[in-house]
Amino acid sequence: MKRDDVVSASEIASWAWCPESWRLHALGAAPGNRDALRRGEERHARTALLVRWSAPAIKLGFWFLVAAFLVAVLAFIRVRG
């Protein structure tokens, strides 16, 4: 159920970005740049996938760095010992 006296954050952002676009959307006008909107949605989906995979990749890189440091320490101890 949509209340007319409640303004969402999305509506505020839409109005702040382009008041005319917000007005046309509120009147029910269809956007004329559907292809650009579709391409934008696809790009956002790809970016979200990249972000989702980047955190585990960073963690893995950190653990590889820790392992390399430990190997270097062990090699130093063996050479000195």
Segments making up each domain of the chain, as ranges: 9-80
> pLDDT digits over 22-69, tens only?
888 888 888 888 899 899 999 999 999 999 999 999 999 999 999 999
The reported pLDDT for the residue numbered 14 is 87
Residues 52, 46 contacting (CB under 8 angstroms): no
Please name the residue that has the structure tokens 């382009």: 18
pTM above 0.85, yes or no: no
